[in-house]
Structure formats: structure tokens, C-alpha cells
Amino acid sequence: MPQIEPEVYCIAKTDLDRAEFDRYLKDIGEPNWKPTTTIPGELLIEAAGRMCYRSWQPYDPAKPHCSQPNVSKVREDSKVYFENVLKSRHGSILEHVNMSFICRNVSRIYSHELVRHRAGCAYSQESLRYVRLNIIDFWMPEAILENEKGAKRFREIMKQLGEIQVELAELYDIDNIKSFDKRKELTSAFRRLAPDGLATTILFTANIRALRHIIAMRTDPHAEAEIRLVFDKVAEVCKNSYPFLFQDMERKEDGSWTFEYLKV
């Protein structure tokens, strides 16, 4: 039975309709705003923050919709602007940008923990009411691999559980049952003999504010081993995708990702 590894695919990020956004900027008087980021998600969040305080530029009475008397100076560099946002924990504007990930070859142990994060998240998971099992793929934790005999027994049991799924399908002659509802009913029943550790796939979407929180929680040394592994990969994607939004995130020697401006 092949050893599998959890995989992470970032399949979607919030985009920015630049034509409509430019139309908005024109309508408010074309502010003298020159962001130093070109990443759509970061542009969107910076725009949200500047709109809140009407801080597109320093106050100019000729452009009342671009600025206001309380603003005599603005942070022009996007990196500096976001550093201030993160320091002040102006978290609501981070919720405008989502990222979607497919997590493949993860266990239902992982997914059961993942879906506990509800705020700012959405989930779609492979259904074992519809998807009939004929093999039990699984990821083996390092704690199991440390004992050679234990790891061997672990593999044997997983292999046997996969064989049981095939045997049950044959005993009930499921392939020759014409009723789809009946086949689904049996498929659902068979999964009761499938372990939580079987490999599955789940797609989740989370906004930036939620991701910062989840990464900090799930890469902590006390978190479950598999979810630490997966969110280490998620963190790398986030850092590469939005360097200004995750500028305070750092990977420690123990594998945890910590945030200078985040309180968990």
C-alpha cells in the first residue's frame, strides 16, 4: 500500500475588477493615490481601508471626496500602510479577500478539526454516501513510523479495512443493483467500517482575517500532527501570495508560524 502525503492546492483568490474600481476613483475626483502593491487582493483591502477614513491622499479642499480635513499626511507605501493596519488590528477590512484551497490526501481526522473553524470559512468535502470505497489510502504520522512493528501492523489493518469495503460490495452485489438510492444507502452503510484516517479531499475557503487566526492556531506545536503539516503548506502559499498582508508572519524553528501583530 503506497504511502501518501497531504497536498494543498490554492485554486482561487479574490480578484479586483480594475475597470470598475478605476471608474469609482474617477467619480470621487481621481485621488493622488499610487499604491506600491499590484496584487489585486492587497489593492482591494488597501482601498477598503482608505475608503473608511477617506485617506486616499492628504487633505485637498479641491478634492473633498478624496480626502478630509483630519488627514494631513498619509502612509503612501503599501507595505507601511498594511503594517499599520495589522498593528492596529483593523481586521474587518481583511475579510474582503478570500482564498480557496483543495486539501487532498487528508484524513477525516484533519477535516473534523478543520471544520471547527466557522467564522469566515466555507467547506465542501468528498461524500462517502456517494463515493464508494475500494481502497483505503492513508497518511501515516511520524509517531507511528517510529516503531517498525507498529507501523507494519498499522498498514496491515488499513489494508484489511480496504479489502472489507470490496468484500461487502461483492456480498451485496451492489454493482447489479439498479436503484441508485439503494446503492447510495449501502455505500453509506459500508463506510461505518472505514477508519477516520482514510484519505479524502476537502475544499475550504477562508478570508485573510480567518486564515491568519487558523494558521497561528493550527501550526502551534500542540496542534494535531496532520493539521500542522497541512497548514504549514497553507502558510507558505499565503506568505507568497500576499506578502504585505502576512508581513508579520514568521516560521519558527519548531515549525509554528507566529504573527507579531496577532493575538490568538
What share of the chain has pLDDT > 90, as a percent?
90
3-state SS class at 115: coil
First to last CA, the chain: 40
pLDDT tens figures, 64-117 = 999 899 988 999 999 999 999 999 888 999 999 999 999 999 999 999 999 999
Q: Is residue 203 part of a domain?
A: no
Nearest to 249 by CA among 89, 257, 211: 257
CA 58 to CA 164: how far, in whole Å?
70
* Same domain membership, residue 20 and residue 89: yes
Q: Is residue 6 part of a domain?
A: no
Q: Is residue 177 part of a domain?
A: yes
Q: Is residue 199 part of a domain?
A: no
Q: Is residue 182 part of a domain?
A: yes
Q: What is the mean pLDDT of residues 129-152?
A: 91
- Domain boundary at 167, 193, 219, which? 193
Total domains present in the chain: 2
Rg over CA atoms, the chain: 24
Model pTM above 0.75: yes
Q: What is the pLDDT of residue 185?
A: 94
Q: Range of 175's domain?
A: 129-193
CA 146 to CA 214: how far, in whole Å?
29
